[in-house]
């Protein structure tokens, strides 16, 4: 379905600062006057500050009446890496080495906090990571990469120092692109819960992240060319299609969609993703967590149920909503949920997922519209791995057929059977990143 939330069950996470500390420590590195950058971006005082240096203003919603979307709130320089250091880091991942064939340049990375809007259009802030090459052309093409499902606020590229989180930024930037990675709403330093799989807010957060990166570029001696290449993994595959649709519709004249390359997405919830969960065709524990996310996250925006007890069995009805609020690491979510979907759902809950109605049906129309509601006019490829245990291949096949019915050539591009820590789904992210950076590079 979508990306496994805390890596495979046995994965040992690198230690992170407590989330409370992440949100309270102030480290404002760029002065902002009238919406402009007035000082040079400051560097960290050491690698330890990469995770702990945060901006206090990012922990609260901005309610200023003007609130220009994409305006920078803060910028922190995180790391400077040589090409050899990048190659060594990509090879060091405990789950399996990342491809280093595209590494050409060193990279600088920056955490940005920027203004955007929540799903209701109210002003808020979000965070993300920008990575740029050290050398090469100063006028850069941009890759927007949108990540897979993360349960914990700190497990995203702007905050986490795990190779898994950093690898896409390092891969694309070291190949000569500006890499722009939004955290989405409610993750990283964004306030409130994350509206999981809400394509409209993923789109606004991603577009406003591009705007923030465009504003940052001159202060770090770069210029972003109009060309934007959109890619994403799992949850981020749908987000990439949402952003691509907006860019093609001229959402911002500064940007021009160049190509689209989603990897292992859940493009067909009603027809593929949910049936595979209910039929036990996915990894059992991942299926439980995605089922819970579907009901809890969609209920926050679409009124799927009145009381959790309507759809969740005891004792999970009392705990599941708070467990999925972004403050609990994936290990806690794994421990706090049952082993099977049937152990999680009541009969009415299972029936609702089998035959969606009301608010759930409304949410699924939005989610499944990423392939059905537009006609791409740029090169597009749909990447997938055979035997994916989370995003079953029927998702990609459904999207491919939908585009073909619109007269769009969106070839299904097989990645073979890659694995990362034993997972085909996560392996498709590694293999997909290597394939996509080569394809984007070939498009000129």
Q: Are residues 248 and 280 in the same domain?
A: no
Domain assignment of residue 7, yes or no: no
Considering the domain boundaries, does residue 8 fall inside one? Answer: no
315 and 203 co-located in one domain: no
Per-position DSSP letters for 360-427, written without gaps between them: HHHHHHHHTHHHHS----S-B-EEE-TT-SSS-HHHHHHHHHHHHHTT----EEE--S--BTTBHHHH
How many C-beta atoms surround the C-beta of residue 47 within 10 A? 10
The SS3 call for residue 305 is: coil
Do 108 and 219 sit in the same domain of this protein? Answer: yes
Co-location of 392 and 319 in the same domain: no
Is residue 13 situated within a structural domain?
no
Q: Are 252 and 207 in contact (CB under 8 A)?
A: yes
The token duo for 386 is: 């055979």
pLDDT at 177 over 50: yes
- Do 66 and 115 fall within a single domain? yes
Q: How confident is the model at residue 50 (pLDDT cuts 50, 70, 90)?
A: very low
Q: What is the pTM of this model?
A: 0.88
Taking residues 183-191, report their average pLDDT.
98
Q: Do residues 279 and 254 share a domain?
A: no
226 burial type by CB count under 10 A (0-12 exposed, 13-18 middle, 19+ buried): middle
Residue (of 385, 363, 382, 372) closest to 197 by Cα position: 363
> Could you read off the pLDDT of 299-316 as tens digits, one per residue?
999 999 999 999 999 999
Which has the minimum average pLDDT: 19-23, 63-67, 210-214?
19-23
CATH of the domain at 319: 1.10.260.160
Q: Indicate whether 12 pLDDT > 90.
A: no
Closest CA to 417 of 386, 440, 441: 386
Mean predicted lDDT score pLDDT of the chain: 88
Q: What is the mean pLDDT of residues 268-287?
A: 95
pLDDT (average), residues 117-133: 97
Same domain, 250 and 330: no
Q: Which residues contact 373 (CB under 8 A, 6 or more apart)?
A: 245
- On whether both 362 and 430 belong to a single domain, the answer is no
Q: What is the pLDDT of residue 65?
A: 53
CA distances from 272 to 96, 248, 292, 402 (A): 29, 27, 17, 13
Q: What is the percent of the chain where pLDDT is above 90?
A: 84
Give the list of residues 6+ apart from residue 91 with CB closer than 8 angstroms, or none.
97, 98, 100
* Residue at a domain's end among 327, 344, 367: 367
- Same domain for 338 and 257: no
Give the residue carrying structure tokens 């994350």.
Answer: 194
Q: Which pLDDT tens digit goes with each residue over 140-168?
A: 999 999 999 999 999 999 999 999 999 99
Among residues 347, 367, 387, the one where a domain terminates is 367
First to last CA, the chain: 32
Residue 176 maps to which CATH number? 3.40.50.1820
Please determine, for residue 39, whether its predicted confidence score (pLDDT) is greater than 70: no
pLDDT digits (tens, 9 = 90+) for 64-123: 456 799 999 999 999 999 999 999 999 999 999 999 999 999 999 999 999 999 999 999
How many domains are contained in the chain?
2
Chain segment 386-415, per-residue pLDDT in tens: 999 999 999 999 999 999 999 999 999 999
The reply to whether 278 and 156 lie within a common domain is no
Are 335 and 249 contained in the same domain?
no
**pLDDT in the model for residue 67:** 75
pLDDT interval class at 424 (50, 70, 90): very high
Residue 131 lies in a domain: yes
Domain boundary among 367, 399, 434: 367
Q: Which of 10-19, 353-362, 418-427 has the lowest mean pLDDT?
A: 10-19
Residue 316 is part of which domain span?
A: 269-367
Same domain for 277 and 240: no
């Amino acid at each position: 379905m979508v990306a496994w939330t805390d890596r495979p069950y046995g994965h040992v996470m690198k230690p992170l600062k407590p989330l409370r500390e992440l949100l309270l420590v102030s480290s404002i590195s760029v002065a902002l006057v009238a919406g402009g950058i007035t000082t040079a971006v400051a560097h960290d005082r050491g690698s330890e500050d990469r995770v702990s240096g945060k901006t206090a203003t990012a922990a609260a919603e901005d309610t200023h009446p003007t609130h220009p979307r994409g305006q920078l709130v803060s910028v922190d320089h995180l790391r400077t890496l040589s090409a050899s250091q990048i190659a060594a880091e990509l090879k060091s991942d405990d789950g399996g080495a990342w491809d280093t064939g595209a590494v050409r340049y060193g990279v600088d990375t920056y955490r940005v906090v920027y203004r955007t809007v929540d799903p209701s259009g109210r002003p808020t802030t979000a965070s993300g990571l920008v990575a740029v090459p050290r050398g090469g052309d100063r006028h850069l093409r941009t890759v927007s990469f949108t990540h897979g499902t993360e349960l914990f606020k700190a497990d995203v590229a702007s905050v986490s120092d795990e190779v898994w989180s950093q690898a896409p930024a390092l891969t694309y930037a070291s190949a000569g692109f500006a890499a722009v990675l939004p955290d989405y709403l409610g993750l990283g330093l964004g306030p409130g819960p994350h509206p999981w799989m809400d394509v409209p807010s993923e789109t606004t957060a991603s577009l406003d992240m591009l705007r923030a990166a465009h504003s940052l570029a001159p202060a770090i001696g770069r210029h972003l060319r109009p060309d934007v290449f959109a890619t994403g993994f799992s949850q981020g595959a749908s987000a990439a299609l949402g952003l691509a649709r907006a860019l093609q519709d001229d959402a911002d004249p500064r940007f021009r969609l160049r190509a689209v390359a989603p990897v292992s997405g859940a493009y067909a919830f009603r027809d593929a993703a949910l049936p595979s969960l209910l039929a036990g065709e996915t990894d059992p524990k991942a299926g439980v967590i995605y089922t819970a996310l579907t009901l809890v996250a969609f209920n926050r925006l679409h009124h799927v149920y009145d009381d959790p007890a309507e759809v969740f069995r005891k004792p999970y009805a009392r705990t599941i909503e708070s467990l999925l609020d972004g403050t609990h690491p994936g290990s806690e979510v794994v421990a706090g949920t049952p082993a099977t979907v049937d152990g999680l759902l009541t009969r009415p809950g299972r029936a609702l997922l089998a035959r969606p109605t009301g608010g759930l049906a409304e949410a699924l129309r939005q989610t499944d519209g990423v392939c059905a509601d537009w006609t791409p006019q740029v090169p597009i490829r749909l990447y997938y791995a055979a035997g994916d245990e989370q995003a079953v291949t029927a998702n990609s096949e459904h999207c491919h057929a939908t585009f073909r019915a619109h007269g769009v050539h969106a070839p299904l591009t097989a990645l073979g059977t890659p694995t990362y820590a034993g997972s085909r789904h996560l392996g498709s992210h590694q293999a997909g990143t290597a394939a996509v950076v080569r394809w984007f590079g070939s498009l000129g």
